[in-house]
Amino acid sequence: MPDDHRITSLEQLRALFDAPSPMVRRKVIGRLDKHCRAIIAAAPFLCLSTASAAGRIDVSPRGDAPGFVQVLDDKTLFIPDRPGNNRLDSLTNILESPQIGLLFVVPGMDETLRVFGTAEITREPALLARAAVGGKTPRLGIKVAVEGAHLHCGKAFKRSRLWDQAAQIERKSLPTLGRMVLDQIGATDIPVEAADARIEESYRKLY
């Protein structure tokens, strides 16, 4: 039975909202200006969005000390690839479909920076050497050819009270990561304690 409440056209969608302001309509720029560079330099965290050839979307968190993302020039970024779970979802997607989206987050700042463009995986020695931490050099990194960038207002962060200490949950109010994953995959052959211990060990090896 058809859903009469679905929005199926741009005209229907636009009818529900006011027109964006002239400033908002024009805010996408095709380069990394001084403000983009300042936010990237201050950001210890970003969300990286990629898609497979089949169109399956993935969003991956990336984090390190502020400045871990290198701005090579006004149109190019380099993101070092730190140790993860070895599924390589983002990297596999980039090989299949190079379009990429980035959201840079600075703790204490409600506004964010959005960047989009195309990505490639690189092992360029000079870039990897500059990304070394504690004598450990990443195996590879992601070079992004920037097509556009724009600032995003802080309404979502304000509504969520993300930086408000009073809004932080007690972590023990939710199960451990090991417990949740084992439940999700229906694994009964792996003790929860062993799963949690492996996760904690991986946390001790960040680089």
The reply to whether 128 falls in a domain is: yes
Q: Mean pLDDT over residues 118-124, rounded?
A: 98
Rounded CA-CA distance 172/196 in Å is: 14
Whether 106 contacts 39, CB under 8 Å? yes
Whether 35 contacts 58, CB under 8 Å? no
Shared domain for 46 and 134, answered yes or no, is yes
Q: Mean pLDDT over residues 163-192, rounded?
A: 96
Shared domain for 127 and 55, answered yes or no, is yes
Shared domain for 118 and 175, answered yes or no, is no
Residue 107 reports pLDDT greater than 90: yes
Shared domain for 32 and 124, answered yes or no, is yes
Residue 186 domain boundaries: 169-203
Residue 3 reports pLDDT greater than 80: no
Shared domain for 121 and 141, answered yes or no, is yes
Rounded CA-CA distance 181/46 in Å is: 24
Whether 73 contacts 36, CB under 8 Å? no
How many residues belong to the chain?
A: 207
The DSSP string of the chain is ---TT---SHHHHHHTSPPPPHHHHT--BSS--HHHHHHHHH-SEEEEEEE-TT--EEEEEEE-STT-SEEEETTEEEEE-----S--HHHHHHHH--EEEEEEE-TT---EEEEEEEEEEE--HHHHHHT-BTTB--S-EEEEEEEEEEEE-SHHHHHHTTT-GGGPPPGGGS--HHHHHHHHHT--SS-HHHHHHHHHHHHT---
Shared domain for 109 and 175, answered yes or no, is no
Number of domains in the chain: 2
Handedness of CA 153, 158, 164, 170 (dihedral sign): negative
> What confidence tier does 160 reach under pLDDT thresholds 50, 70, 90?
very high
Q: Mean pLDDT over residues 143-152, rounded?
A: 98
Residue 1 reports pLDDT greater than 70: no
CB atoms within 10 A of CB 199: 14
54-98 pLDDT, tens digit each = 999 999 999 999 999 999 999 999 999 999 999 999 999 999 999
The reply to whether 28 falls in a domain is: yes
Residue 191 reports pLDDT greater than 90: yes
> What confidence tier does 4 reach under pLDDT thresholds 50, 70, 90?
confident
The reply to whether 101 falls in a domain is: yes
The reply to whether 5 falls in a domain is: no
pLDDT > 90: what percent of the chain?
Answer: 97
Shared domain for 152 and 65, answered yes or no, is yes
The DSSP string of 32-61 is --HHHHHHHHH-SEEEEEEE-TT--EEEEE
Residue 2 reports pLDDT greater than 70: no
pTM (2 d.p.): 0.94
Shared domain for 154 and 173, answered yes or no, is no
The reply to whether 49 falls in a domain is: yes
Q: Mean pLDDT over residues 43-62, rounded?
A: 97
